[in-house]
Structure 1
């Protein structure tokens, strides 16, 4: 049974006392065709700079119950604490314009957290204090301070350390639960890995972009207009110095949020047209204006650009019958016929073993080579033959060869390995399963706003 009573955005906002802040973030106008896709440049040092103690904003909230999640309550105090946490973590300065977006994000996070805690109890997942302490120490390292100083930093912003500890405990337990339930299902198959590698090889000659992304999901924030307004406020704050990675972790709905919005290298043509236009226009170091897409809004941070990879690598194995330029035509014809007869029985796994088991045959693993460095007789096979196939007899000054194409990938020092592609696919699939899990929990939950 599902019971959800949605309240208008102004209902919870009415719990906030009107507050005039010393300096409101500048508003950014909606994009027009003449407007530059870039909102401004970001300071890379902001990501590594120690966090500054937040100013506790002077807003007030009702202390009573504002929502229930399967009969567990969320109070005004809980919401204020989570809002203060968001402000501290992101270094976003609260303004009259962005406070509703911060409030909504905090409330949605609290609802998800209640559902996660209930699942942890159901599956009897318990996180000991030493793991919580280790996670807190990691947060402190990210902020560039010692753990004790980090907790004081939060207290200066009005955040109770115990609230942070419980939040960290829930997040750690949830990761363990999701990993335990879905690790096997998220593991990519060999075919999926090979397909991804082939796609990378095919696209390697196209321009590539190293990007950070923030995706504001319209359904989560109250509609497309709210998503655009929230994105504008976030862009304004990041241009003023809020670290992109921190904002992405707290506000983005993309799978990359857990990595601080790091989407890695993307290839020209692999994203939506409106996003592609921004990628083409942005220069390294620039942050985009909000980019509306179906279902939400993107913010793109262009970290770097590069042209496509210049090399094409291929893995070859061969079976050979020696026959130099002085060999009689009859010997060459006999060698050709013998290899033609063997060819249907061969593949990458068997070609070397078969060559070593019969007299007169030579086998060799040629390893991985740039196609441009191969003998001219082998280049056409290396470029066009399907992976896993064996060529017909090829004549060279050394003899007759059967060539097995056992792998193909784009070259270049920055292109991913098989292990990296496998890890990326597993992370993407695990993130998708996690999002579906929490959506299902929300759909089945009784969520009521007071």
Structure 2
């Protein structure tokens, strides 16, 4: 059996392959996972002769094993950070985030080089599928994503290369380390028993950002970067957007969200801080053995009660397109069509067929989401609906949108299942191996920062 076949593809691990490319914020939607990207790697020799775009006019930001990251590459990433994270684009902020952004670019180049060495293949179908998932989760089309990037001065090739690198790295991690991860029944039962013993203790709804360093000489820079990110978050930058851009934890794929946990499930220094944090606040940098955590405490509860934000929906988005500046008579026409559509639909199958009767009407593939992953107005629109129901029409910048409920499963609260614990432990170990491998790549690389 090959390592690839032996890899256990748990649901969250499959999300790890796909999620680092979407669920990012476009306004109230979710396209922050554009964590940037790189044009094709150019060698140092190409840069010296001007063959690398921007290397002469923009300069060289770093050289990674004889491959150049130009200032053009770095500027593209910085533009993308501002566009997708909500951090204001000022010269002061550019100067502040530049070191961390450049570190991320260096890591990505190392991942890309390692994937090439191991001949990891990423097909065009992989790339197209990633773009389609971004579009679906952003309530946009692929063309609209391209326009968003262009309007913010970011080339689409930047995102394309980022997707290619992320897909390759996740394939690499699965193939190289998946078969080496072993979770015993004893480990699962130990966690389950501990959670039973703590069933009456508080649990915390937590988000995390992890910034790591490999040696003590980097600690001051990483702590400074953490402090700058905290400052921007406290000024209004969305925590999830910043986590997707900067966090080096596996939870970055979901905007740093690790859900409801008890203190014993957190690293000791983090647990000590979380216990004393007011809900709705963000911590100062928390030092751990090899990095700094930034923690967002969204809520605290006692016991193991059900959480409405963990209610699970299978939703189909339908759209009756309208331009933002459509004349009132066209808006009124679409409103009438929306009501007619709602009154005639009692299932997702019916919705798929009936939407075609309206000019330009489209229906996305059903997708499974938790209530807490939806923007507030969408969550409010589906509140109280049952399977087969259609939400009230919602006017957006692309037209009149409705959500059809294809399935619904309320959160039952209580303890996680043994399978969920097993999957979580598996993913923790796999993520740790991936971080160690990247650390080894950094240690063996020749990196020159300019």
TM category, shorter: 0.5 to 0.7
Structure 2 Cα separation of the partners of residues 445 and 52 of structure 1: 32
Q: In the TM superposition, what whole-angstrom CA distance separates every residue of 1:152-201 from its partner, at most 9, and x where no partner exists?
A: 11111111111210111111111111111111122422222222222222
- Alignment of 1:301 with 2:301, yes or no, is no
Structure 2 unaligned residues grouped into runs of 5+: 1-24, 35-53, 306-411
Counterpart of 1:255? 250
- 8 Å CA contact 1:249, 1:257 repeated in 2: yes
- 8 Å CA contact 1:127, 1:173 repeated in 2: yes
- 8 Å CA contact 2:104, 2:246 repeated in 1: no
Q: 1:114 aligns with which of 94, 109, 112?
A: 109
Structure 1 Cα separation of the partners of residues 155 and 82 of structure 2: 14
| TM-score, length of structure 1 as denominator length | 0.59
Say which SS state the counterpart of residue 281 (structure 1) adopts. Answer: coil
Structure 2 Cα separation of the partners of residues 95 and 246 of structure 1: 18
Say which SS state the counterpart of residue 93 (structure 1) adopts. Answer: coil
Structure 1 unaligned residues grouped into runs of 5+: 1-45, 55-59, 311-411
Q: In the TM superposition, what whole-angstrom CA distance separates every residue of 1:74-121 from its partner, at most 9, and x where no partner exists?
A: 111111112222222322223344323421222122212222222222
Counterpart of 2:123? 128
The root-mean-square deviation of aligned C-alpha atoms, in Å, is 3.1
In the TM superposition, 1:231-246 aligns within 5 A as 231-246=226-241
* TM superposition shift of 1:261: 0.8
Q: Decide which structure has the larger Cα Rg and report it.
A: 1
C-alpha spacing 1:190/1:139, structure 2 compared with 1 (3 Å):
same
In the TM superposition, 1:45-444 aligns within 5 A as 49-50=28-29, 63-217=58-212, 223-271=218-266, 275-293=270-288, 295-309=290-304, 413-444=413-444
Q: Which structure carries more relative contact order (alpha carbon 8 Å, separation 6+)?
A: 1
C-alpha spacing 1:294/1:117, structure 2 compared with 1 (3 Å):
closer
Structure 1 Cα separation of the partners of residues 187 and 31 of structure 2: 44
C-alpha spacing 1:113/1:291, structure 2 compared with 1 (3 Å):
closer
- 8 Å CA contact 1:115, 1:442 repeated in 2: yes
* TM superposition shift of 1:309: 4.5
Counterpart of 1:348? none
Structure 2 Cα separation of the partners of residues 52 and 118 of structure 1: 26
Q: In the TM superposition, what whole-angstrom CA distance separates every residue of 1:25-51 from its partner, at most 9, and x where no partner exists?
A: xxxxxxxxxxxxxxxxxxxxx898137
C-alpha spacing 1:247/1:141, structure 2 compared with 1 (3 Å):
farther
